[in-house]
């Protein structure tokens, strides 16, 4: 089974990215053949500064490698380094119904808010389909909000297969663990859009400041509190072991504590949790040629596979002679 997923370099990765997706990508890399890419072409719909995009792309590679993505197990590459995908995207675009794309939620949501939606956003699901189909991916790990795009991919691939013969593997979504939803510093879902994130490799002092500013309720210290549903407890639970979670839960139910105690414990646990990854990231950042070599090798491997699939599609639809 071949696994594929991509992640956009639209900002520095935060706790929500890690617990919601990246950790699970890393777990999957040893079970199946895995392709993971940094989706810089998709990021162009929001990032308009070229130097910023280049830096965020490099940061994404450093972060993923530091967190445990192993190039010996998984193919890691930058999306734009595989031009075959863009060519495949056009083949799929010629058969993509307008109505199908108009129903996609990212486009609908932006239009509903009165925001300008460009052709890149409108055709985003077709490029995503090309990303998936180019590697004969069987499984695509996604959050619930991305399932629709996998359905679009299957529709486009199925239509192409119907017209031109069996060409593409129809992928299936693998839902990421919904329990890994991470609250932000304001209690809402952690997201760059809400400016409520704590970055994975933020300086510990800055991360601690953000943690100490996490929104909490105004109940008296002595009042018992139910930990379930409390976003500060949810954050601490991401880093604590079972014994620590039980201890803190009992403290909540007993009362007589201040939220500042929990915030300090959270800051210490989080810093310890990412300490090894932080050290690995520093080593990688000091050896840019190593990162370039990993991405170059990943792109070469990805291009070999994507080239085979593209040729198959070109021959099927008649833009290349068979053989």
Active-site amino acid positions: 110, 189, 192
Instruction: Give the SS3 label for residue 141.
Output: strand
Strand partners, 4: 35
How many angstroms separate the CA atoms of 279 and 291, rounded?
15
How many angstroms separate the CA atoms of 6 and 134, rounded?
13
Element containing residue 68 per DSSP (H, E): none
Q: Show Cβ contacts of residue 139 under 8 Å, excluding neighbours closer than 6 positions.
A: 1, 2, 3, 4, 32, 171, 172, 173, 174
Residue 226 phi/psi, 5-degree rounding, is -85, 120
Instruction: Give the SS3 label for residue 63.
Output: helix
* Overall residue count recorded for the chain in this entry: 323
Instruction: Give the SS3 label for residue 168.
Output: coil
Strand partners, 186: none
The two structure tokens encoding residue 236: 């601490």
Sheet holding 33-38, edge to edge: 74-78, 33-38, 2-7, 139-142, 172-175
Residue 39 phi/psi, 5-degree rounding, is -85, 70
CB of 39 closer than 8 Å to CB of 47: no
Instruction: Give the SS3 label for residue 269.
Output: helix
């Amino acid at each position: 089974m071949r696994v594929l997923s991509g992640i956009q370099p639209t900002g520095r990765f935060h706790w929500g990215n890690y617990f919601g997706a990246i950790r699970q990508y890393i777990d999957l890399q040893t079970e199946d053949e895995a392709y993971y890419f940094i989706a810089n072409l998709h990021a162009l719909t929001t990032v308009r500064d070229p130097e910023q995009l280049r830096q965020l792309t490099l940061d994404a590679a450093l972060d993923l490698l530091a967190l445990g993505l192993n190039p010996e197990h998984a193919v890691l590459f930058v999306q734009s380094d595989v031009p075959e995908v863009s060519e495949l995207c056009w083949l799929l675009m010629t058969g993509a119904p307008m109505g199908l794309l108009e129903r996609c939620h990212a486009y609908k949501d932006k239009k509903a808010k009165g925001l300008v939606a460009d052709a890149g956003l409108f055709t985003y699901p077709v490029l995503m389909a090309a990303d998936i189909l180019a590697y004969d991916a069987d499984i695509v790990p996604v959050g619930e909000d991305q399932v629709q795009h996998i359905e679009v991919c299957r529709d486009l691939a199925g239509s192409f297969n119907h017209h031109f013969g069996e060409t593409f593997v129809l992928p299936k979504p693998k839902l990421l663990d919904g329990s890994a939803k991470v609250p932000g510093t304001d209690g809402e879902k952690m997201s760059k859009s809400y400016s409520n994130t704590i970055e994975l490799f933020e300086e510990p002092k800055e991360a601690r400041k953000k943690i100490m500013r996490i929104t909490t309720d105004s109940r008296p210290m002595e009042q018992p509190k139910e930990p379930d549903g409390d976003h500060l407890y949810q954050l601490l639970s991401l880093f604590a072991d079972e014994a620590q979670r039980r201890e803190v839960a009992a403290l909540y139910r007993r009362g007589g504590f201040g939220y500042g105690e929990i915030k300090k414990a959270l800051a210490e646990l989080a810093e310890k949790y990412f300490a090894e990854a932080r050290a690995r990231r520093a080593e990688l950042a000091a050896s840019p040629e190593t990162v370039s070599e990993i991405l170059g090798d990943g792109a070469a491997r990805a291009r070999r596979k994507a080239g085979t699939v593209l040729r198959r599609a070109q021959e099927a639809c008649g833009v290349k002679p068979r053989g």
